Structure 1
Amino acid sequence: MTATEIRTEEARPVPVRRRTSATTPQDRLVALGCAASATLLTWFVMHQLLVSPGWLADLVVACLLYLGMLYLVTRDRLGRLAAVDKLVSAVVVSGAVGLLIPLLFLLGYIVVKGVPSLRLAFFGHDMSAVAPTDPATATGGLHAIVGTLEQTALALVFVVPLGVLTAVFLNETRSRFRRPVRIFVDAMSGLPSVVAGLFVYAALILPPAQLGFSGFMATLALTMIMLPTVTRTVDVVLRLVPDGLREASLALGASRARTVWSVVLPTARTGVSTAIILGIARVVGETAPLLFTSFGTLSMNFNPFSEPQESLPRFVYRYIKEPLASAQERGYIGALVLILLIFALFALTRLIGRKRWSARRTKPRSAR
């Protein structure tokens, strides 16, 4: 090897290893430059060379140009693998932002419409003494809040044991009925909520059963809607529990039932809490089944097993379709309180699951 070749080998830069998902300041500058270039090119093409049909077309063209530029520049700098990784990451982030913007707009719209007329008195009385022509600030929603909490709590009483047991049956047994049950659960997941309400209405409210409208009838309809969601989520969570934990427990002499109760379910505790949250989110805002089951009322009814009972979704539906402006404002107030109630239930469920898990981890081994 000649001296010139030796100097060339010594001057050649040593490649630096890096993860494809790692982001450096230079990567951020490249992304920002691609975004600015895509925006300017879109403006030039769509507004100078062509006639733009609207902002949505501009947005689509700008996104496509940005993704193309980002891929080409990253491939030139870091190679094809890193370019594909950056492209997929950009698509995922763009999709998340695209979903987040309408959600924030919806929440902001409800807050702007509901906050001006919301008063503490809303949580202290019902609508039995409020006239339709009264201002929206006189609205009372205690009866709707109580109805929603009771109906959702009763639905959870039925759904959580049934959903967890069904998921355990699907994952921890070798029964030949697993496949039919899984198909049935998947089919029930696509059941329209109005069909659940109609089923309860036809089977239990109409003759010959003729049990009448009540909060419990609404609970049965909500249970039919919530059960497949909770079952499928817990099913997925139990699949994520490592088989090594089950094998170790069985090797130590524990029965399969003891293994499920003491090893599998505690490991999947956080996922079960998430399943409960998803189940609540699935039914707490449902209105269609309540129209045929609970019927609704303007006065307080603490007993969900007798007489019609109001709920927040039914409250919103009752007033949002009225022609009076004050009635529509009452509907927005109910929607705002419903959103706040959902957030509170989510936070409470997360807190309970986290406390139980923390208590189990900090508990002395001898006391377990």
Structure 2
Amino acid sequence: MSTVTTRPADTAAPLPKGLKQRRLPSWAPLGIAVVSVAAAVGAGLLFGLQSKVQWGLIAALLFVAVSFALASAVEGRRQAKDRLATSLVWVCFLLAVVPLASLIWTTVGQGSKVLDGYFLSHSMAGLLDIQPGGGIYHAIIGTLEQVGLATLIAAPIGLLTAIYLVEYGKGTLAKAVTFFVDVMTGIPSIVAGLFILSFWLLMLGFDYSGFAGAMSLAILMMPVVVRSTEEMLKLVPNELREASLALGVPKWRTITKVVLPTAVGGITTGLVLAVARIAGETAPILLLVYGAPYINNNPFEGAQSSLPLYVYQQYVNGNAASYDRAWAAALVLIIFVMLLNLVARGIAHWKAPKAGH
């Protein structure tokens, strides 16, 4: 009987010397980046380029070109193409991050000048626009009430529409609903404001109010809720539905007791992101809420303010005091939207299935 000897799985035959491929060291990308930045700074100073953006573009081009050239000389054309694609991805990433970081840096630097407890707890009532002081308490109240009412309107409608499209929708009606949801997703916010203006204010004769602005925000929010909820419901395995129906459970009860609880994490995340999407809208609020320098706790009667509208109005005033207030309100709005996004990520992480369960 012949015996077959096998090499242990954890030992591998060494590659012949001629088959070993040369590779750039692991620190090569960082070194190339440092050299590219230094060369770009030197070129900018030598040729008198004043814009730091030009320096950055020169550094990016040098980084991509040098990475490709070195990889071609050392690793070969195939690896050089891979290095080229990786370099382009990093450059595009930095091109997207740098403006965002610059925006946050500028907003924090300018907005922190007047952002304090007094600014958050007072309104602009009885204060001239050219005078320092004042606050955004009335704008915070308006934003919370308008966004809250818009959520109460849009969330159930968007949720029920998504359930219809995924669980019941077939034929012409479902295709028509899907088409109009796609159309609503891309409409400018000013169109939603003009629709409510013509219908609610001009045709029905109601006055400016926070509720009118909330209705326009709800129009902008509904397609986002429908799309996010629809995608989350599609991720629920059909086996869960079939098992429930096989036990004789009615379809409506299967949806409420099986489908929705399974997708509740993703649905809640999409809802929070939709709230963050409408929190910074200015155009419909400018048309329908009109703005007020005093505190109005009733969103159904009289003009109100909001954070985006407050930023716009203070900037239009065109003096140093109003500019400071505009930057501070913009910083508060950014913090508010950032907190909503963090809440959405936290909900998604909390509801994500754990390994082993």
Q: How does 1:182-193 map to 2 (within 5 A)?
A: 182-193=178-189
CA 1:88–1:280: 2 relative to 1, 3 Å = farther
Q: Distance in 1 between matches of 2:252 and 2:26?
A: 52
Partner of 1:226: 221
Give the percent of matched residue pairs that are identical in Structure 1 and Structure 2.
34
Q: Deviations over 1:105-132 (max 9, x none)?
A: 1111111111011120122221113233
Q: Quick one: which of 212, 217, 225 aligns to 2:212?
A: 217
**Do structure 1's residue 65 and structure 2's residue 65 form an aligned pair?**
yes
Q: Give me the whole-angstrom Cα distance separating, in 1, the residues matched to 2:80 and 2:206.
A: 64
Alignment of structure 1 residues 16-165 onto 2, 5 Å: 28-35=26-33, 54-55=54-55, 57-65=57-65, 68-69=68-69, 72=72, 76=76, 80=78, 88-135=85-132, 138-165=133-160
Amino acid at match of 1:116: K
- How big is the shift at 1:165? 1.6
Q: Structure 1 stretch 192-201 or stretch 161-170: which is displaced more?
A: 161-170
Q: Distance in 2 between matches of 1:75 and 1:337?
A: 51
Q: Find the aligned partners of 2:278 and 2:263 in 1 and give their Cα distance.
A: 23
Letter in 2 for 1:305: F
How far has the Cα of 1:69 moved from its partner? 4.5
Superposition deviation, residue 353 in structure 1? 6.6
Q: TM-score, normalised by structure 1?
A: 0.78
Query: In the alignment, which residue of structure 1 is the partner of 2:285?
Result: 290
Secondary structure of the structure 1 residue equivalent to 2:27: helix
Q: 1:71 to 1:153 in 2, by over 3 A?
A: farther
Q: What letter corresponds to residue 105 of structure 1 in structure 2?
A: S
Alignment partner of 1:179 is 2:169: no
When residues 67 and 200 of structure 1 are mapped into structure 2, their CA distance, relative to the original with a 3 A threshold, is farther
Amino acid at match of 1:29: W
Once residues 38 and 347 of structure 2 are traced to their aligned partners in structure 1, the CA distance between those partners, rounded to angstroms, is: 51
Flag structure 2 segments of 5+ consecutive residues without an equivalent.
1-11, 18-22
Give the residue type in structure 1 aligned to 2:198.
A
Q: Contact 1:31–1:70 at 8 Å: present in 2 too?
A: no
Q: CA deviation at 1:242?
A: 2.9
Change (3 A) 1:39 1:224: same
Q: Secondary structure at the match of 1:28?
A: coil
Q: CA RMSD in A?
A: 3.5
Return the TM-score normalized by structure 2.
0.80
Whether the 8 Å CA contact 1:197–1:218 is kept in 2: the answer is yes
Counterpart CA distance in 2 for 1:62 and 1:240 is: 44
Measure, in 1, the Cα distance between the counterparts of 2:260 and 2:25.
Answer: 43
Judge conservation of contact 1:194–1:288 (CA < 8 Å) in 2: yes
Answer whether contact 2:138 2:294 (CA < 8 A) is retained: yes
Q: How many residues align?
A: 335
In structure 2, what is the Cα distance between the partners aligned to 1:332 and 1:51?
A: 33
Cα distance change, pair 244–134 in 1 and its aligned pair in 2 (3 A)? same
Write the deviation string for residues 205-259 of structure 1: whole angstroms up to 9, x where unpaired: 12x3110100000001101111112211222222233333333333343333233
Contact 2:266 2:348 in 1 (8 A): no
Q: Is the 8 A contact 1:70 1:87 kept in 2?
A: no
Moved more, 285-294 or 50-59: 50-59
For residues 64-112 of structure 1, what are the alpha-carbon distances to aligned partners after superposition, in whole Å with 9 as ceiling and x for unaligned?
3156358647964xx95x7776655554444333222211111111111
Aligned residue identity for 2:193: G
Contact 1:117 1:333 in 2 (8 A): yes
Equivalent residue in structure 2 for 1:339, among 334, 338, 350 = 334
SS in 2 for 1:336: helix
- Aligned equivalents of 1:74, 1:232: Cα separation in 2: 49
Name the amino acid aligned to 2:26: R
**AA in 2 matched with 1:113:** Q
AA matched with 1:28? S
Distance 1:240 1:66 in 2: 44
Q: Distance in 1 between matches of 2:16 and 2:194?
A: 73
Q: Supply the AA of the counterpart residue of 2:120.
A: F
Code of the aligned partner of 1:279: A
Query: Where does 1:271-282 land on structure 2 (aligned, <5 Å)?
Result: 271-282=266-277
Distance 2:69 2:239 in 1: 46
Which residue of 1 is the match for residue 197 of structure 2? 201
Residues 227-306 of structure 1 aligned to structure 2 (within 5 Å): 227-306=222-301
- CA 1:249 to 1:88, structure 2 compared with 1: closer, same or farther past 3 Å? farther
1:43 positional shift: 8.5
CA contact (8 A) 2:189 2:281 kept: yes
State the Cα distance separating 1:302 from its structure 2 match: 0.5
Q: Is the 8 A contact 2:24 2:74 kept in 1?
A: no
Change (3 A) 1:41 1:327: closer
Aligned CA distance change for structure 1 residues 116 and 197 (closer, same or farther; 3 Å): same
